[in-house]
Structure 1
Amino acid sequence: MSDAPLLVERLPDRVVATLDRPSKHNAIDQATIDCLHELCAELEAQPRTLILTGAGGTFAAGADIAQLCDRRAEDALRGINATAFVRVGELPMPVIAAIDGYALGGGAELAYAADIRIGSTTLRIGNPETGLGILAAAGATWRLPEIVGHARAAELLLTGRVVHADEAAAIGLVSSVHPAADLLAAAHAIADRIATNDPLATQYTKRALRAPRERHPAIDGELQAELFERPEKQRLMTAFLEKRAER
């Protein structure tokens, strides 16, 4: 539908999902969350790389304050946005966030759920929730420390300070910065590189990366044991050896 809050482009090895509520600066409302759940169900059944981006020079200006204002304790305990963002983060294949312009509050937390984040030169990202009398409860308090370290995350979350593109790159919040016109192409270039690798090895690498510290090194061995028994491992390694012998 033309008025859908999430526009989805499906390609054989990837999906591009664009937050598209231009009149609300792509604020994340319940309809957007519902669309994210539908998309996650699709990508759980048919794993592909996901590129998340926003329309109109904005990633997402935050959660929809008009809806948030009416929510009460039972809504907080349901974890409406948090549950969807966890599902995004746990998708089998990599998630790339291409962040243009503002990514604030819930918009920032959706970006934090991605495996790889890149930004435009106009990037402005942060969590000003405490200024609205709430906390960043959709992943920022545990994902952001994993990304930038505890001390930096504490400073950003407790002050509500918004980070610009250069600082975001310097602290590792995004891995690269691009002109806005080149941002989506840069995201596709990353997806292209991922597509050259074995899909199951990529999925297992992501699973190991997402595993808690106490599961290592056992989980690495378990996943590697499965990969070692696959004909695809033998084929790829044989091809590598043959190519090296030709040099």
Structure 2
Amino acid sequence: MPSGIQEATAFEFKSASVQLVSFVPATLDAEEIDTELRDKLGDGEHMLSGSHVAIDFSALPETPDAASLRRLVEQLAHFDLALVAAQGGNDAQCAAAREAGLIIINPDAVTHLPTPKPVVAERVPAMVVTKPIRAGQQVYARGGDLVVLALVSNGAEVIADGSIHVYAPLRGRALAGARGDTGARVYTTCLEAELVSIAGVYRTLEEALPANIKAGAAQIRLDDNKLVIEALSGLV
């Protein structure tokens, strides 16, 4: 080989970083998990779509078998979540995870894990919806705000990478800041929502709201990673 010419190789290793979403179950009951996944994520595209997931055993008292973990892999895949790793488990839990084909993440082997930064999509003009959004329908404003000029029914879902403005009763689920924008807000002239979320922080509104908020004009925002619900005419 001529001097100075490097022989080509079939492959090479390069450093890479992969961000994982932690899934921390308190139970592996398939029916219970499925119900809560549908409640929080719906049946269509959602803020975590396409994410890689690591199951965290720290809150799970039981030791699952490999078959139950494989069922969980399939269950999360139905919601466009890829369960690929496990962490925080005892020896038996880690053994079951390995048998199920999951990678074991060893915290002791990590010298530095930077805090993931929220992914804020490039803003685009607001999406404006003029017709009612019925039960079972989902509207997603990718990269910008969503403005709805009609009813959002129970069982409907409105999602935006930016803020959500509903100038009518909001009775379904509203998820603003879907790609991590903690400054996003939800505004409505009539708050009757089932669930609201800002940048992944959820709250169901099944409990009674104060009289000055229930069925009135309100906004929802984040304050120190906690959801705050305020009447537009004044603070709660």
Common fold, TM-score beyond 0.5? Answer: no
Question: Which structure shows the higher strand fraction?
Answer: 2
Q: Which has the higher helix share?
A: 1
Larger Rg: 2
TM-score for both structures, normalised by structure 2: 0.29
TM-score, reference length from structure 1: 0.28
If asked which structure has higher relative contact order (CA below 8 Å, sep 6+), I would say 1
